[in-house]
Structure 1
Amino acid sequence: MSGSLGDVVAQLRSAIDTLQSAAVVAHRAQSDAEEANAHYAQAARGTRHPELTGAVTESKTAGEKAGKLARLISEAADRIGDYSNAIAPGSAPATQPSDSATPSGEDLLAETVERESARKNVASFLSTMTRKVEDVQDNTQKSVAAAREAFTIIRGPQGPSGAHQPGTTTPMVSPPVGQRLLNEAPDAAGHLLIRGMARRDWGTVDQLLDGLETSGWHGGNQVIGAAFAIAVNDRLAAGHSPTDVARFVAETRTQFPGSESLPALEMEGLVRAALGEVGLIDNLSPETALQMQIVFLGKLLQDRDLTETQLEEFIADVERTAADYL
């Protein structure tokens, strides 16, 4: 196969994979809408309340439209597959029925169970970390110092204080604006730090940490903890093993050589705690835990390379989760 034809086939294959993934999402949306419709219909029995009857109609329409969308997407993937096979026989899987992307009931149940397990893991981890932080007096200075050390590890020796990595933008907030924001809404610091970490905007990170030393860091440990726990549960499936965790920790230490100063076994224990084994961090200090969480979060965010929309969705999920522990 020539280089140019190979490139075309690779692009077609990528398009097929993307469409098939979108079809699965649409089918799941259809299942969710149909389930909601059944609940609304049950609740609306014996009543003509306009909001309930409207919800029944709207959920039914949503399910129908999601099903139609899934079918059209699947058909589009099939057509592209047919074309790919026409120009390069065998380059794409044989056309499947348009409903082949529909996840089975077992798949949907497994996904629901996994999501619920992840939520419980995050809640248990945050409850434990919140209790540890509350037992420490004057933790702002210690937390900010631990955060500085962690960010130094992430950006490495080539990124001095206030430096930007290639491709990053100017700081998101100027020093006066950043300080005023922290004074008026200190909870926003976590949001901005996560964004700065994801975009490798070290100038903004440094400015925020300077401001936090003065204004205090209300809820900082909870916000970082929520971000870390959510991201690590997304990364490691429910069926993870201690070997999977050890491999993830080893990858992190390789990616950020400065993290070798952190104890490997405690790093593994922290990850496993976020995955449900909270007893493993009983003897871990809040400052060390915070430092490790930021380092892990740096890897997880860099590996995922979130789009702007995905980053905002992630931060919104973090803030909703952390709010229960502030």
Structure 2
Amino acid sequence: MSRRGAAFGAMAGAVAGAVALTSACGATAHRGAEAAAGSAAGSAAGSAAGSAASITVRVKPGTAIASLKAAHDKIVRSGAKNATVLLANGTYRDKGLDWKAGGKGGRITIKPAPGNTKVKFYGGRTAYGKGYKGYLLTVRPTASSLTVQGPLTITMYGDGGIQASGNSASGPVKGLVMRNVTFSRMGNAWVKKGNGYAAVHLHYTQGAQVLGNRFVNLENVKTPGAMHGVYLAFNQTDRTPGSSGNVVKGNAFQVVSGDPIRATEVSSRNAASGNSFSKGRDYRGKTQGNGYKGMFTYWILARSGTACGAGNTFAGKKSGYASYYLKGRAKSLPGIASGTETGQTCKKAIAYK
């Protein structure tokens, strides 16, 4: 090959190498840009997921979010499992709310906003003075664990205040907390069409904590013994297990026509301690105490068979509690009692601690 041909060949090789290097660098840069874009997208997605993981919802009468239902629906739309609902002072008229917000593993807390101490959920209608015949809300087992933290008042609901209802498909409601809430004027003595079951009605619920609440004027005219402060039971529709491992502590009960705390349907290992039971004025203005059979009773109903629960405990004095029926029945009741509609007793279901 001539010198001129060799030089030409060397020049061509150099050009080809440069082109190849440029191409490789371009590909690398392109891949780097793609990676950076992917990282940014991932970061944005992560940030969005993080923002949905925990939210705060502020509720105030007269605003876009003026009710507990509106707050619930906003949490559902966000997909958040953890949330805080802050309530401004005012009267809220929510009723029959089916609480499904969040999901298992999360927690939602409902409480007054800082500095707000006059929050009330009212089932009544101002024009007629009549309350809502059902519950304020029912907690479902697929929802996040729920905390209701006072000070706040729930009043004028015919069946009761807060119901938790586990089921066979999704399991029990877990981790419910009720603290510093006043439940008042519930039952058909106050709401004519109400059934009057319980201020806190637990169906197939585990690990609930009912702490430092007030239960006042929970009364029935029809079936007065059926209205309770806290009721621990099964889900009758699904025939689930009862409610077990729950704590009822430091609450004040005043004028409850049924037993203030009632367990049934194989509910077990529930503990009541540090609670007070006092007299007050009933719906007619007469002085009454609490209870039909005792302060914490275990009862078997015909619908649930003959099996007894076990390990329920009551810490308190054994006798001398003023009955709701100060005339016509025993004026003094024991701390605990058990029995059934057919006369059976479940002595091992409940004991003093």
Q: Which has the higher contact order (CA 8 A, sep 6+)?
A: 1
Question: Which of the pair is proportionally richer in helix?
Answer: 1
Question: Which of the pair is proportionally richer in strand?
Answer: 2
TM range (shorter): under 0.3
TM-score (norm. length: structure 1): 0.20
TM-score (norm. length: structure 2): 0.19
Work out which of the two has the higher radius of gyration on C-alpha atoms and give 1 or 2.
2
